[in-house]
Amino acid sequence: QVQLVQSGAEVKKPGASVKVSCKASGYIFTGYYFHWVRQAPGQGLEWMGWINPSSGGTHYAQKFQGWVTLTRDTSISTAYMELSRLKSDDTAVYYCARDLGMIGEPKYYFDSWGQGTLVTVSS
């Protein structure tokens, strides 16, 4: 079955960077887009961007352009999200999620999710 397993919780100081990993199993890694979504404590969901794990192509939500970097390592079926210049309001749970449709164009439906990674930004 499809599984997405994320790296563990992180505590970072303002201005630092964080890199979260998402290891996929149970399907062909390069066959589906990956998205990243975050959720601040007690708040709603916020879409950050996607990566095409086959080509490495990316698209970011306007808010996150220049600030988030999505990458992948196909040899270990793992996607990464790196967020730089952290601020306190970046404290959130960060999720990776697989797109519902196979590679072509992303459908923006997230049918499998990682367990989430809590990133806490505090001085």
Partner 1 sequence: QSALTQPASVSGSPGQSITISCSGTSTNVGAYNSVSWYQQHPGEAPKLIIYDVNNRPSGVSNRFSGSKSDNTASLTISGVQAEDEADYYCSSYSRNSREVFGGGTKLTVL
Burial class (CB in 10 A: 0-12, 13-18, 19+), 17: exposed
Q: Binding of partner 1 at residue 107 (CB under 8 A)?
A: yes
> What residues from 58 to 87 belong to the interface with partner 1 (CB under 8 A)?
59, 61-62
Q: Binding of partner 1 at residue 26 (CB under 8 A)?
A: no
* CB count in 10 Å sphere of residue 23: 17
Nearer Cβ to partner 1 (48/83): 48
As a whole number of angstroms, the distance between CA 94 and CA 22 comes to: 10
Nearer Cβ to partner 1 (75/104): 104
Among the listed ranges 16-24, 25-33, 54-62, 81-89, the one in contact with partner 1 (CB under 8 A) is 54-62
Nearer Cβ to partner 1 (92/97): 97
Q: Give 119's Cβ-side CA count (13 Å radius).
A: 29
Among the listed ranges 11-19, 69-77, 84-92, 95-103, the one in contact with partner 1 (CB under 8 A) is 95-103
Nearer Cβ to partner 1 (29/33): 33
